[in-house]
Amino acid sequence: MTRILLACLWFSLCDLVIAAESSGTFPASMMTIPERTAYQRTSTFAEVLAVIDALQADTDLMHREVLLETVEGRQVPLLVIANPPVRSPQAAQASGKVVIYIQGNIHGGEVEGKEASLILLRDILYGDKRHLLENQILVMVPIYNADGNDQMSADSRPSQEGSPLLAGERFAHGYDLNRDGIALEAAETSALYRNVIQRWDPDLLIDLHTTNGSWHGYPLTYAPSYRTAGDPQTSDYTASVLLPAVTQAVQEKYALSFSWYGDFDAQSWPPTEFRTFHHGPRYITNTMALRNRMAILSEAFAHDRFYMRMHATKVFVEEVLEFTRVHAAEIYAMNRAADARTIEKIREQGGRFENGVQYAMVPLPEPLALLRYTHIPYQAPDGSIGITRTPELVTIEGVLNYNQFVPAKMATVPRAYVFPAQLKTVADKLEEHGVQVTILSQATEFTGEEFMVNAVGKQAFMQNGHNNSLLQGVFQTGRKTFQPGDYLVSMEQRLANLIFYLLEAEADDGLAY
Ligand SMILES: [Zn+2]
């Protein structure tokens, strides 16, 4: 009797050992730095490369390119993961699969996406997430702002409260990379457009951040690409189908409550409004809707411990990929239908319809049950009133959720734009965005509208070295002859909505601005 029991026990132990080996015993080289340091440290650029090397050693599913060599000489890796493997954009296109782009660390101190994407990669290649490669190709840049990442200090991210102990710098040699989606001035942005957005044409871009200090109560908040002048369907689908499905899945599987991105006035009680960020396409996610593609902004909650932020970011991306895997064909078709619709509308109605050039933030129809921390007001020695947070979470019902935008000023959408040869910088910028620009080979007379500037408003604050300009003026109808060498931009192309936003004189985030 004893002998039989012992034998059973022995077999059970064997089963356990085999199970552990087949599901997730990884060599230490595949573990991220936070996992190896009790979440006290985040990875340097060199440490990210070492983990990627270890992950690539035993698989042919990963193809590797260089996104750019940074100002400080770091070769930023771009990973393409597919099953069967894909080594070129042509092969990706021929596969008919959706391409999902995952970007970490655009702000050098917001490090969760960097670590979470490496762990996700490990689980896909060697763990239990291989099925996430069904119907989709993943393009990953875990460490986009490599130079900013390695400028580590203890005070770069005060709202993260020392977890991890050191974190990188937000900017890339002076540029906020998430304000550069129109001007494309930083080397990183230029490379992103050339080597990811145009080369791999992602159907969905996921940009991974960490909040700057809001005391809402969500482990992670998100936003779709705010569509402004873009075809409505891609961003509406992200906002009203994809994100709610992911939120529900994360709640069911992990008991985590994710919600819309935004902030509120912590001094007022109770808060009545929750407001998101600016709609401008200078934000990388917002530019995607103008390109008829989808995007998601992900913001881990800064005040959570580092390991919790990594976990929230990882399960969010994972559940987005679970959704896109199942709905790949639908997403693929929807993006291309938006392309076709954009061109068709110009062909049929170009010059005879309007679209928005300036936008106002408005609440969604459904108010938010806002989860937030309470606070205690106190009087400082100098008499001013401050607040300090408590650990108590409360729900405030009926908060207006300002998370969409409506046009505040409209302009006619033309059939084409024409501008003189001396604006070569504008033509070059358009081409960097992937727009087809033609040069007139002979003098040509056009009938159309010309924008006459009568005032230039200047923003009071500087961003990426600019005080932006808002042009004021009037449109005059007439005929005008342009010369050989001048530029013509036909709107009969899939990026027509982007061209409109870039070139309209009064656009609140265009090239004139
Ligand atoms: Zn950020």
**How far is the centre of ligand 1, averaged over its atoms, from the C-alpha of 284 (Å)?**
11
- Of 292, 261, 266, the residue nearest 278 (C-alpha): 261
pLDDT of residue 14: 40
- 39 belongs to a structural domain: yes
Answer yes or no: do 185 and 96 share one domain. yes
Asked whether residue 101 is assigned to any structural domain, the reply reads: yes
**Cα distance between residue 167 and residue 158, in whole Å:** 10
Angle 395-396-400 from CA coordinates, rounded to 5°: 130
Instruction: Please give the pLDDT value at position 462.
Output: 87
CA of 196 to the centre of ligand 1 (A): 19
Q: Is residue 502 part of a domain?
A: no
Ligand 1: centre distance to CA 437 (Å)? 33
The pair of structure tokens assigned to 462 is: 């500087």
pLDDT value of residue 166: 98
**Distant-in-sequence, close-in-space partners of 452: CB < 8 Å, separation ≥ 6:** 473, 474, 475, 476
Sort 348 into a burial class: Cβ within 10 Å, 0-12 / 13-18 / 19+. exposed
334 Cα–ligand 1 center, Å: 28
Task: Look at residue 448 and give its three-state secondary structure.
Answer: strand
Mark whether 330 and 192 lie in a shared domain.
yes
DSSP 463: B
Residue written as token pair 């012992």: 6
Ligand 1 centroid distance, CA of 8 (Å): 54
b (16+ CB within 10 A) / e for 118-137: bbbbbbbbbbebeebbebbb
Last residue within a domain, chosen from 300, 321, 345: 345
**Ligand 1 centroid from CA 296, angstroms:** 13
Alpha carbon of 106 to ligand 1 centroid (Å): 7
For residue 209, report the distance from its CA to the centre of ligand 1, in Å. 4
Ligand 1 centroid–CA 472 distance in Å is 32
Cα of 182 vs centre of ligand 1, distance in Å, is 17
Domain total in the chain: 3
Residues 289 and 392 in one domain: no
> Is 50 inside a domain boundary?
yes
- Backbone phi, psi, residue 297, to 5°: -95, 130
Report CA-CA distances (Å) from 164 to 86, 109, 152, 159, 371. 36, 10, 11, 11, 25
CA distances to 30, 31, 34, 153, 423 from 37, in Å? 14, 10, 5, 17, 53
- Going from the Cα of 211 to the center of ligand 1, the distance in angstroms, rounded, reads 7
Q: Are residues 294 and 420 located together in one domain of the fold? A: no
What are the two backbone dihedrals, phi and then psi, of residue 190, each rounded to the nearest 5 degrees?
A: -55, -45
Instruction: Measure 314 CA to ligand 1 centroid, in angstroms.
Output: 16
CA of 454 to the centre of ligand 1 (A): 37
385 and 486 in a single domain? The answer is: no
Expressed in angstroms and rounded, the spacing between residue 190 Cα and the centre of ligand 1 is: 19
Q: How far is the CA of 89 from the centre of ligand 1 (A)?
A: 29
pLDDT along the chain (513 residues), means of 10: 43 40 77 98 98 97 98 98 98 98 98 98 97 98 98 95 96 97 97 98 98 94 96 97 98 98 90 96 98 98 97 98 98 98 98 98 97 92 90 96 98 98 98 98 97 92 90 96 98 98 96 92
Per-residue pLDDT, 267: 81
Same domain assignment for residues 387 and 283: no
Quote the domain boundaries for residue 380.
360-405
Q: Give the contacts of 424 (CB within 8 A, at least 6 positions apart).
A: none
Nearest of 74, 215, 73 to residue 141 by alpha carbon: 74
- The CA 110 to ligand 1 mean position distance, Å, reads 6
Domain co-membership, 331 together with 300: yes
Ligand 1 mean position, distance from CA 483 (Å): 45
- Position 90 in a domain: yes
Q: Are both 442 and 379 inside the same structural domain?
A: no
Q: Which amino acid, one-letter code, is at 341?
A: R
Q: Please identify which residue in the block is written with the tokens 């819309």.
A: 260
CA of 316 to the centre of ligand 1 (A): 16
| Cα(309)–Cα(423) distance, integer angstroms | 46
How far away, in angstroms, is 463 Cα from ligand 1 center? 15
Q: E strands along 35-169, which residues?
A: 62-69, 75-81, 98-104, 136-141
Extract the tokens encoding 418.
């024409």
Which two three-digit tokens encode residue 287?
């530019």
305 and 208 assigned to the same domain: yes
Ligand 1 centroid vs 221 CA: distance in angstroms? 12
Spacing, Cα 260 to ligand 1 middle (Å): 15
- How close is the Cα of 105 to the center of ligand 1, in Å? 8
Report how far Cα 431 is from the mean position of its chain's Cα atoms: 22
Q: How far is the CA of 239 from the centre of ligand 1 (A)?
A: 20
> Residues 234, 117: contact at Cβ < 8 Å?
no
DSSP E strands in 182-338: the ranges are 204-210, 220-224, 259-260, 273-275, 294-300
Distance 431 CA to ligand 1 centre (A): 27
Please give the distance, rounded to the nearest whole angstrom, from the Cα atom of residue 142 to the centre of ligand 1: 14
Ligand 1 centroid from CA 383, angstroms: 34
Assess if residue 7 is contained within a domain. no
* Distance between Cα 485 and ligand 1 center (Å): 41
CATH at residue 100? 3.40.630.10
- The residues, any chain, with a CB within 8 Å of residue 339's CB and separated by 6 or more, are 292, 494
Distance 425 CA to ligand 1 centre (A): 29
**For residue 59, how far is its CA from the centre of ligand 1 (angstroms)?**
32
CA–centroid distance, residue 250 to ligand 1 (Å): 22
In which element (H, E) is residue 251 found? Answer: helix 243-254
Does one domain contain both 68 and 152?
yes
Q: What's the rounded Cα separation, in Å, for the pair 323 and 336?
A: 19
Angle of helix 496-503 versus helix 328-349 axis, rounded to 10: 60
Residue 513 located in a structural domain = no
R_g of the chain, CA atoms, integer Å: 25
Q: Model-level pTM?
A: 0.94
Same domain, 90 and 173: yes
User: 508 lies in a domain?
Assistant: no
Residues 273 and 382 in one domain: no
